Amino acid sequence: MPPSILSKNVQLAMAPFMERYYGGGEILFCGNRSDLPAGDGSTPMYPLSTPLTALQRLNAKTKRASVIFLLPGSAWNVDAADWASATSTADSFAICSLGHGNARASFTWTIAGSTWLLDTDNVAIDNCRLFLAGADAAGAALTVAAPITITGAGCTLRNNRVKFGFDADQIVTVGITTTAAADQLTLEDNHCTGATAAEVTTFMDLIGCDDLVMRRNHFAGATSAVGVGIVRFATTASLNITSEFNTFINRKASSTAAVTGLAGVSGVSREDMFHYLDNSSTTPWITSPGIMCFYNPRTTNLAGEVGMISTVVSA
C-alpha cells in the first residue's frame, strides 16, 4: 500500500525509516501478537505473520529498496541454521521495527546452531531487539556459536538493542562476525551488552571490513581471555574505517584490552571511549593501533574514574 493512503499515525511511525531506506520497492507489514489477524502484509491491520514470508515475497528482487515493517509487540525465534534463507538472492531491503523500548519487535536465537546470515548486499536491520543467547531470562544452558554472520556489502545494523549473554551458561561464542566481503558496513546507535558472567570469545569479529562506519554504539561485556577485546579486528586488516563516539567496555577481571587491534588496520577513531579492568596500566586499551589515527580517545580502568586522554595507544 502506498504510504499516502495509510493512516497519519502509521505514516508518522514509518517516516524515519522511509527517509533512510525506501526507494520505490515493496512495503510489507509483519506482526504476530495476539490481537492481529493474519493478512497479506499490505497494511498494518492485516500483516503477514512472519518476516520469512515477507522475505519470500522479495525473492530474487534486487536494487528495489523494499521495507519490511515489524509491528510493535511481535516476537520471533531464530531457530535454525540460515534461518532467513528465504532471502535467497534478494538484496537492498530493510527490516525495521516500529515502536520504542521493549515494545519493539524481537528476535530470539533458541538453538546452538541458529544463525541469521546477512549474505546479500545492502540489507538493514533497524530498531529491533536481538537476543543472541536465548531469552533474556534464566533458562536452560545454551551456547550459540555464531548468531549473526555478515558477508554482504553495504549492510547496516542501526538502533538495535542486542543482548549477547544472560549468565554463565547462556552465552554466545562470537556474536557478530564479518567476512572480507562485508565492506561498507554501517553500525550506528546499537546498544550491545552481555552479563559479566556470560564471557564470550569476543562480541564482534571484524575481518577485512573495509570502509566500516561505526558510530555511537555501546559495546559492554566480558571476554573469556584477558588480552582479547570486546570487539576484535582479526585475520585481514580492515581499511579506511571510521569509528566515532563509541563505547567499548571489557568487564573481564584484569582485562588488558577493550579492543583487539590488528596490524594494517587504517582509518580514524574520534572521541571513542575504552574501558578495561587491568589496574596496573593505563596504556594497553587496544592491542595494536594498526595505522589508525586517534583523536581524543578516553580510557579508564577503574569504576568511578574520569576518562583520561591517553597519549599512548597500545603496549
Each residue's pLDDT tens digit, 185-224? 999 999 999 999 999 999 999 999 999 999 999 999 999 9
pLDDT of residue 312: 56
Q: What is the distance between the alpha carbons of residues 101 and 82, in angstroms, rounded to a whole number?
A: 27
Helix/strand/coil percent split, the chain, to 5: 10, 35, 55
Mean pLDDT of 129-146: 94
The structural domains of the chain, with segments of one domain joined by +, span: 1-105, 132-315
Q: What is the distance between the alpha carbons of residues 234 and 260, in angstroms, rounded to a whole number?
A: 8
Write the pLDDT tens digit of every residue in 219-269: 999 999 999 999 999 999 999 999 999 999 999 998 989 999 999 999 999
Q: Smallest Cα–Cα separation from 32: which of 45, 19, 50, 16? A: 50
Is the per-residue pLDDT at 291 higher than 90?
Answer: no
Q: What is the distance between the alpha carbons of residues 13 and 16, in angstroms, rounded to a whole number?
A: 7
229 vs 282, which has greater pLDDT? 229
pLDDT of residue 310: 65
Residue for grid cell 530470539: 108
* Mean pLDDT rounded to a whole number for the chain: 90
pLDDT of residue 191: 98
β-partners of residue 5 are none
Helices (H) and strands (E) in the chain, counts: 2, 29
For the domain made up of 132-315, give the CATH fold.
Pectate Lyase C-like (2.160.20)
Q: All 3 cell numbers of residue 238?
A: 580492515
Q: What is the distance between the alpha carbons of residues 300 and 99, in angstroms, rounded to a whole number?
A: 35
- Predicted confidence band at 171 (pLDDT cuts at 50, 70, 90)? very high
Looking at residue 219, the DSSP 8-state letter turns out to be E
- Predicted confidence band at 314 (pLDDT cuts at 50, 70, 90)? low
Task: Supply the pTM of this predicted model.
Answer: 0.92
